[in-house]
């Protein structure tokens, strides 16, 4: 089983074919960064077009039954998520509407303060806001998973504790391995996994020790340490693959419509664009390298299958439907 719990590529038939070559059974794809509800609907429409155009390669994912079907028919199930709560605007009723349309993950913040919580780039962390608590309860009710990948520490810990269902950090790495601002401190990951949540390890070079030069061995050693610390069942992959995107897209991710100034986010004036991916993870086909690397780091076959897919499968299975 192979599931990648975060990608935002410049989607094309080529990439859909590479998903098959890499044996991806399911991928959580980002469908909104800064879009409001109406704009997000246009993105759902665009995916409907791809499902109609490439029915032999991809299929819409709503539950794990869609992953089972995808495996049986040699396709990849596509699950949707938002990196920002902008699609629900200021309307809690939109939580159920976006879930009905297929959304399965929603980040409560994207770097900045939102109506719901604080992003990891803010100076002051409010924790979960009044509306944030109401929205988490509603997300719990319908089966929309709280994702805190781009959130601040206190907000993340509070979300893990307040949510009555497990939450995730879909794409980030441990801060102790590489102290990027977006990587997560031990206390934060601990709060998430203690409540049954998951962390998906990121291949985005700004999150990697030695960035683009990070070795496969170093990445897999990091996973081995995390498995010891957080449990082999609470970890997976959230590659943050942004394949074939032009640099203008990373700029838009960072500034959206909230500023007229340049914001370099995880980049810098000298390196404003997308960094080069490590040689051993260029695209979906390189999940085969991850499998080898995890083997070399001492994981057995079952553990590798869990980390590369089954852990997410079980998580999806328990968290995408209405609360029981």
In 3-state terms the chain splits into helix, strand, coil percentages (rounded to 5) of 45, 15, 40
Answer yes or no whether residue 96 interacts with a copy of itself by CB under 8 A: yes
Answer yes or no whether residue 38 interacts with a copy of itself by CB under 8 A: yes
To which H or E segment does residue 18 belong?
helix 13-21
Using CB under 8 A, pick the residue from 12, 49, 56, 246 that binds a copy of itself. Answer: 49
Number of residues in contact with a copy of itself under rule CB under 8 A: 16
Q: Which range binds a copy of itself by CB under 8 A, 86-94, 167-175, 183-191, 216-224? A: 86-94
Answer yes or no whether residue 44 interacts with a copy of itself by CB under 8 A: yes
Q: Are 115 and 139 in contact (CB under 8 A)?
A: no
Q: CA geometry: angle at 238 spanning 97 and 296, to 5°?
A: 155
Answer yes or no whether residue 72 interacts with a copy of itself by CB under 8 A: no
CB of 243 to a copy of itself, least distance (A): 25
Q: What is the dihedral of CA 67, 72, 74, 80, to 10 degrees?
A: -10
Using CB under 8 A, pick the residue from 73, 74, 100, 259 that binds a copy of itself. Answer: 100
Using CB under 8 A, pick the residue from 101, 115, 224, 255 that binds a copy of itself. Answer: 101
- Kindly tell me the burial class for residue 190, based on how many C-beta atoms sit within 10 Å of its own C-beta (0-12, 13-18, 19 or more): middle
Q: Which of 147, 83, 144 is nearest to 110 (CA)?
A: 83
For a copy of itself, which is the closer residue by CB, 43 or 107? Answer: 43
Using CB under 8 A, pick the residue from 72, 90, 93, 324 that binds a copy of itself. Answer: 93
Answer yes or no whether residue 37 interacts with a copy of itself by CB under 8 A: yes
Answer yes or no whether residue 91 interacts with a copy of itself by CB under 8 A: yes
- How many angstroms separate the CA atoms of 291 and 207, rounded? 20
- How many angstroms separate the CA atoms of 46 and 89, rounded? 21
Q: Sign of the CA dihedral 282, 286, 289, 294?
A: positive
Structure tokens at 130: 């009044």
Q: Which range binds a copy of itself by CB under 8 A, 91-99, 111-119, 215-223, 236-244? A: 91-99
Q: CA geometry: angle at 6 spanning 120 and 288, to 5°?
A: 130
Cβ-based neighbour number of residue 302 at 10 Å: 10
Q: Which range binds a copy of itself by CB under 8 A, 94-102, 177-185, 189-197, 267-275? A: 94-102
Q: Which range binds a copy of itself by CB under 8 A, 38-46, 70-78, 108-116, 276-284? A: 38-46
Q: Are 84 and 109 in contact (CB under 8 A)?
A: yes
Answer yes or no whether residue 299 interacts with a copy of itself by CB under 8 A: no
Answer yes or no whether residue 94 interacts with a copy of itself by CB under 8 A: yes
Q: Are 88 and 135 in contact (CB under 8 A)?
A: yes
Answer yes or no whether residue 73 interacts with a copy of itself by CB under 8 A: no
Answer yes or no whether residue 131 interacts with a copy of itself by CB under 8 A: no
Answer yes or no whether residue 323 interacts with a copy of itself by CB under 8 A: no
Query: Which residues bind to a copy of itself, rule: CB under 8 A?
Result: 37-38, 41-42, 44-45, 48-49, 91, 93-94, 96-97, 100-102
């Amino acid at each position: 089983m192979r599931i990648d719990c975060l990608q935002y590529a410049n989607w094309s038939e080529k990439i859909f074919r590479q998903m098959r070559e890499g044996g991806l059974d399911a991928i959580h794809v980002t469908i909104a960064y800064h879009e409001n509800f109406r704009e997000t609907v246009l993105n759902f429409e665009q995916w409907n077009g791809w499902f109609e155009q490439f029915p032999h390669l991809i299929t819409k994912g709503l539950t794990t039954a869609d992953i089972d079907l995808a495996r049986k028919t040699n396709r990849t199930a596509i699950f949707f998520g938002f990196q920002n709560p902008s699609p629900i605007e200021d309307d809690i009723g939109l939580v159920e509407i976006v879930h009905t349309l297929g959304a399965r993950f929603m980040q409560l913040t994207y770097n900045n303060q939102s109506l719901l919580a604080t992003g990891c780039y803010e100076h002051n962390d409010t924790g979960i806001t009044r509306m944030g608590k109401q929205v988490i309860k509603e997300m719990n009710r319908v089966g929309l998973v709280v994702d805190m990948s781009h959130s601040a520490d206190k907000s993340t810990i509070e979300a893990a504790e307040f949510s009555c269902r497990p939450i995730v950090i879909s794409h980030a790495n441990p801060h102790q391995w590489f102290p990027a601002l977006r990587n997560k401190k031990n206390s934060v990951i601990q709060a998430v996994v203690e409540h049954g949540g998951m962390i998906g390890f990121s291949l985005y070079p700004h999150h990697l020790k030695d960035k683009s030069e990070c070795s496969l061995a170093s990445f897999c050693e990091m996973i081995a340490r995390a498995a010891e610390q957080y449990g082999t069942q609470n970890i997976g992959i959230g590659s943050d693959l942004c394949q074939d995107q032009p640099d203008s897209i990373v700029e838009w991710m960072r500034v959206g419509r909230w500023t007229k100034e340049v914001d370099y986010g995880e980049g810098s004036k000298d390196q404003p664009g997308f960094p080069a991916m490590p040689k051993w993870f260029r695209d979906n086909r390189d999940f085969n390298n991850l499998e080898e690397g995890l083997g070399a780091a001492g994981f057995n076959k079952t553990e590798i299958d869990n980390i590369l897919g089954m852990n997410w499968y079980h998580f999806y299975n328990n968290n995408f439907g209405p609360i029981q």
